[in-house]
Every structure is written in structure tokens, then in C-alpha cells.
Amino acid sequence: MRYNLKGTICADEDAPIYRWFGLAAVSPSDIRQALADNPAGEEFVLEINSGGGSVYAGFEMYSLLRGAAVPTRAEVQSLAGSAASVVLAGADVAAASPVGQVMIHLPSTWTEGNQIVHRESVQMLEAVTGSIIAAYETKVKGKTSRDALRRMMDRETFLTAQEALDAGLLDEIIGAGAGTPVNPMNVFNAVGGAPDIEKLRAAYREAHADGGTPPAPEEMDKPVSNWNTARARAIALAEAEMDLTELL
């Protein structure tokens, strides 16, 4: 069975919000259900086309793959970036298209408060970084040292399929066979950032305040009701902070 992990990796409760705004998203419950639907004994193949997202959702997906009762295989078709690279590391076999890429970097978050609160965030981010490295270190099996993995994360590193294979983050390049290696909070691990989920949540709640139901897809572009207004406002707010064109 094949399942496509495409778009933002997000928490279960945020998936409906992303999808309502027309953004592709996958949550841990999607992976959990896909594994449950996978025929007994049949390999589960996860196609990855994602720049990452919620690091804790990525951790849960990683753990689901590691604990799956069936053989698991992850195939990077375009990009396994940030949290998606952690998910990749959870599969029994990690592969990529010759043009696929893997990107690893440090997690990020935002904090409001005094210096104590900010120090707590720094400590939390270091712990998250350690967990990410643990996933990579288990995958590479000594082909790349822990210190080297940390340096790659520090400078935000994009790896070609061959470079990821050499580093041990991949087991094979699709079509080339196995190569010989040369040697809880809003925490995001996503290439290029992600839409501001807090703004999306606010607009989503506003649109649902009257207890109504979403309009049919063919009605979404019509300038009627607060649904279209809230959707347009949230996208405009997000675009004011970042260019979403690469994420859509």
C-alpha cells in the first residue's frame, strides 16, 4: 500500500484548519489510519513530498513507522525537509528519487515573556534538537557522526540524493540500487517557514462562530458569507509575514 505524505506535517487538531484553507497537510492520525488499513504482511510505502512542519507531529509519525507491524519504506519524490526528514528516518528502508533532496536544520519556536521564559525555550529547543539527532543517528548507523549531524543542522543543509545516501540518511536511490557510502508547543522544523497557524486558527474559529457548515467547493470562490471573508483575511495576514507561493 502507498500513502502520500504531502504538504505540512501538523497536529491532528490543526489538519482540518489547513485543509479548509486549501493547504495540503498530513497529521499523525492519517499515518496511523493508513498503517491500520495496510494489508497484513504487505509493505507500507510512504511517498514524501514535504518541507516539514510540527516537530512533535513528526516525532509521532517517526514512532508509528518504527513500531509498525509491517515492513515500511519511505520514498522521497521531491523533498523530505525538516520534520519530514525525521519521518523518513523512521522507515525500515529510506529511498529517494535521483532528484529528491533531504534537508535538515535546527527546530524553531516563538516565545513571549521574560528572560526566564526565553531560557526555558532555549532549553526546550536543545532537547528537541537532541531528539532529532537521535533519530538521524539511529538511521545512519555510524556513517556520519553525531557532531557532524549537529553541524549540518546548525548551518541548514540541503542534501542531494547521493549526498544523503553517503551520509546514511538514505538506504538507496530509486532506480540505482543500493549505493556504497563514501563514509509540545508550537515547535516547527520546516523549510522556508510555515503559514502562521495562530492566525489561521483565529480566522477558522471566526468562520465557524455561527455554527454553520462550510460551503461546497464550487461556492468557495464566490464573495458571499463570512467563510470567504475569513479565508481571504487569514491568507492575506500570512502573506504579510512570508511568501506562501512556495508552500502552495
Q: Are residues 175 and 205 in the same domain?
A: no
Indicate whether 58 and 127 sit together in one domain: yes
114: confidence class by pLDDT, cuts 50, 70, 90: very high
- Residues 29, 93 within the same domain: yes
Do 113 and 208 sit in the same domain of this protein?
no
What's the number of domains the chain is made of? 2
Quickly list H helices, the chain. 15-20, 28-37, 55-66, 83-89, 115-140, 146-154, 161-167, 197-208, 225-241
Instruction: Show the domain range for 121.
Output: 2-190
- Three cell numbers written together for 150: 549537529
Of these residues, 50, 54, 82, 121, which one is catalytic?
82
Q: Which residue in 50, 54, 85, 105 is the catalytic one?
A: 105
Does 162 lie in the same domain as 46? yes
Asked whether residue 241 carries a pLDDT value surpassing 50, the answer given is yes
140 shares a domain with 22: yes
* pTM, to two decimals: 0.77
Catalytic-residue membership of 82: yes
Same domain, yes or no: 142 and 163: yes
The cell for 225 is 458569507
Nearest one of 45, 42, 46, 37 to 9, comparing CA atoms = 46
The answer on 215 and 162 residing in a single domain is no
- Which band of pLDDT confidence, cut at 50, 70 and 90, is reported for residue 178? very low
Distance CA 108, CA 105 (A): 9
Q: Within this chain, do residues 116 and 177 fall inside the same structural domain, yes or no?
A: yes
Is the pLDDT assigned to residue 244 strictly greater than 90?
no
